[in-house]
């Protein structure tokens, strides 16, 4: 039994020493491995970096719908269907409540 225990201790010591040697070799070779995988050694691209604004554009198509819309039209005059517009607000113009959007010609 004692002989068996001594043999186990020797085997355990052997494997611990072998594991220690492997750990030392791996630790010694680690920096060499890291420097060989560096980007500059792999033929990467060179670029000049400067601080600046980054614009992101997303091309998209679609339509916009107003959250509130009001239908406008000419005054209702019986028998009169031909109206002339005297003034019209520019397309895309910012308007506020009370601004004149359209004016019909009252000459006819």
Segment 63-96, tens digit of pLDDT = 988 898 888 777 776 766 677 888 899 998 998 9
Among 24-38, 42-56, 68-82, 84-98, name the most confident range.
Answer: 84-98
Residue 93 CA to residue 99 CA, distance in Å, equals 11
The pTM for the full model equals: 0.31
Q: Which residue has the tokens 């560096």?
A: 38
Taking phi over 0 as left and psi of -120 to 50 as alpha, with beta for the rest, 98 belongs to left
CA dist 83 → 57, 71, 91, 101 (Å): 43, 17, 20, 16
User: How far is residue 42 CA from its own chain's centroid?
Assistant: 28
């Amino acid at each position: 039994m004692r002989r068996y225990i001594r043999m186990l201790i020797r085997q355990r010591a052997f494997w611990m020493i072998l594991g220690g040697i492997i750990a030392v070799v791996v630790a010694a070779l680690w920096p060499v491995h890291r420097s060989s995988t560096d980007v500059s050694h792999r033929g990467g691209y060179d670029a000049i970096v400067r601080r600046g604004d980054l614009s992101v554009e997303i091309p998209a198509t679609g339509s916009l719908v107003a959250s509130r819309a009001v239908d406008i039209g000419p005054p209702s005059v019986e028998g009169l269907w031909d109206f002339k517009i005297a003034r019209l607000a520019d397309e895309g113009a910012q308007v506020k409540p009370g601004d004149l959007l359209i004016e019909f010609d009252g000459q006819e």
